[in-house]
Copies of this chain bind each other. A is one copy, B any other.
Amino acid sequence: MLPKKTKYAIKALTALAKVYYDKKPLRISQISETEKIPRKFLEAILLELRHQGFVASKMGVTGGYYLSKHPEEIMLSHIIRATGGPIALLPCVSLNFYETCEECPHEELCSLREVVLEVREASLKILSKTSLTDLILREKKLIRNAKK
């Protein structure tokens, strides 16, 4: 399961993506209200996302946050890895958080590893091709279809 932090990060970044072309920053309090994310927690998350290069900010009374990359470039896999850690089910098949499996004598002969590797590939295939833009387009489609 994804931590709440990751879910909040995705929601917040999507909110920023929606106003990407406005050229005006969005305040933490605004995002916090519309996305129902605890104010102070969101503040900490956005700060981290800034350090990781996803967003930039402006201080002061007209301040706020804005995306520092194009929303098409920000993939779900990036956000998950930046905030939540591994996508893989076991450390021995994680690309970004690899750790050796102590109990398995030979990783290359481990059938469980083979299977969870397949799972990671299947998950990553989806998560690494879905961008913030995709999320927004999908939402529009969902709303359009619901109205019919």
Contact = CB atoms under 8 A, between A and B. Distances in A.
Interface of A: 1-2, 7, 10-11, 14, 35-37, 76, 85-86, 88-91, 102-103, 108-112, 114-116, 118-119, 122-123, 125-127, 130, 134-136, 138-139, 142-143, 146
Contacts of A112: 7, 10-11, 14, 135
B36 A103 contact: yes
A86 B1 contact: yes
Contacts of A115: 76, 126-127, 130, 134-135, 138
B126 A139 contact: no
A4 to B, nearest CB: 9
12 contacts: A1-B88, A2-B90, A7-B90, A7-B103, A10-B112, A11-B103, A109-B139, A111-B142, A115-B126, A119-B126, A122-B122, A122-B125
Query: Chain A interface mostly helix, strand, loop or mixed?
Result: helix
A147 to B, nearest CB: 10
* Closest A-B pairs by Cβ, 6 of them: A111-B138, A122-B122, A111-B139, A36-B103, A111-B135, A109-B142
Contacts of A142: 108-111, 114
A10 B1 CA distance: 19
Contacts of A119: 122-123, 126-127
A111 B102 CA distance: 39
